[in-house]
Structure 1
Amino acid sequence: MSSLPTKTLRVASMLFKSRRGATANNVAAVVAAIERAARNGVELAVFPEACLTGGIEEIASSGEHKTRRAALRALAQGIDSAPMHAVADAVERAGVAAGVGLIEAAPNGDLFSSYVVCLPGGERHVHRKLQPDGERYLARGERFTVFDTHWGWRLAVLIGGDNYVVENARMVALLGARLLVAPHACTGASDAASNEWMRRALPARAIDNGMFVVYSSGVQDAIQTDEDAGEGGAAAIVDPYGHLIAQNGQRTRGDDMIVADLDPASIGASPGHRWLDARRPDLYARLATGRVCEMPLDARAFEPRTAGARGSVPVSFAMVRRERPHG
């Protein structure tokens, strides 16, 4: 596992509304937001899933399913596309790292919901969503994305539904991540329920694994005007104790970000971090198969209990009588 960071890190979760297909306008709004983050001393700005292109939304009818793949392909951009270069250039000018999402057109023709963290100096890290939430036209990523930064912090990225699977967060923690970047996208009628679930689940991920979590959930709408990209969505920053240290209800009206200074000392002191070293991997091999109930029981890892006809459990006990000394 990586060593603990020693430097406080100022991060921002960006409240952001994007328009599907209005990539140029979305990129311009992202660039402007990066510049505002720099003026606030932010070192890492976290934007929502697919904020550059849009494209993550609920499908209302079977007719929409028929045109879904073509619509996603029309939105998709490559990792080395002009929009990504514009974001990377803004990162370089401002000196602020930024994570942005897009529908990615891969060289082999596959489509992904991807997230790119651009660091000052030109370094980029790309995560492809592992759990595309039943989106039949998006391929699944096949690896975890964990990387070191010049701040001395090791970061991980999990997109949207990746965070619903508890093993994903545990894996990136075991790979040494101290900060989990968790972008999300609002998808329609279930927005409120989804955001409420994430606000409950992410503190659990943080406290279980002794790491910080930055959550940014953006609003994605159909194109109506050329000016409407910008503020919207939900945001939260969670510490390794599971405390919500910042959320969008605490911001000043009109702000498009929430900001927090992450103190690395709280990582090492957190119960979740300390208990990572107390794990018993020899007991957990059955989890990796995904077929726990079908595997034969191993008495070394699991002690079976048998019940009688009426549901009773056999118990053995002994009574010991203590003799009083004769007086």
Structure 2
Amino acid sequence: MNNSEKSNVNNDVIPVRGYLLTEQVNPNSLNLDQLSSVELVELFNSEDQKAVAAVAAAKTQLAEAIERTAERLRHGGRLFYVGAGTSGRLGVLDAAECPPTFCTPPELVQGIIAGGAGALVRSSEDLEDRAQDGEAAIAQRHITQLDVVVGITAGGTTPFVHGALNAARQRGATTIFIACVPAEQVRFDADVDIRLLTGPEVIAGSTRLKAGTVTKLALNILSTGVMVKLGKVYGNRMVDVAVTNQKLRDRALQILQDLTGLSREAAGFLLERSGKWVKLALLMHWTGLEKDDGDRLLSEHQGNLRVAVASHKNNKLP
């Protein structure tokens, strides 16, 4: 082993961080401190286009991650994001947005960040070097073979993430590895290996930039794709939206009006009859069933509105 290499927790040989793609110097931003504000914006905008291209290049792996995760959650599993620093914060953010968007229980999608909740608002980057903390986080949450654990690490080397994924794999969980460096630089044995290659950052090594952007894009696709597969969406409407404030009530009423042609007053009455559940309200309207019977029909079809309505003899599905 030469001085440019070291071993990771997976006993693979990987380059030291200075050799990683995410640590390289970007030739397009060598004169960054000499640019005008407009030129700065243009440069960032140009570099950010690479994030979209990186997602497109990883579409097969992202699709596999959606399928595997949906299958596990369909059978009672949970989805966990694990990361440190920016990667950890993005995982926690995506997990936190699932309950209001898809009315999922908080435990269904969870974010685990090195350093815990305090690391969300205060840098705790030193804690990412503790693989044993990642292992402990998996044990603490009683991960099983039904669960899915997504390890997020821009440079691919974060010990906290490696420790968590290795522990999850030992428990039989489905593992997904997300990194912004090519596999030949950092190898990791996961069920799904997603590489989001955006190249060197505008500021060398600042992976909160393009790497953070591409990670947010990928997590949006992963969690939303899973929820679509689980029947949380009808067409492109969030019919499982949690009606917890005025904005979300307005959204719920708009969905009902758009899909049923009802007046706002009538849609509001229907929403109340359904217990403020848009999906059930739509089923009641299209089938003529009352709340309890509609609820049972949805349960019989794992919450899939389209299938539930189509199965009813008084089908009025538009």
With structure 2 as the length reference, what TM-score do the two structures score? 0.29
Higher relative helix content: 2
TM-score of the aligned structures, taking structure 1 as reference length: 0.28
* Larger of the two Rg values belongs to structure: 1
Q: Which has the higher strand share?
A: 1
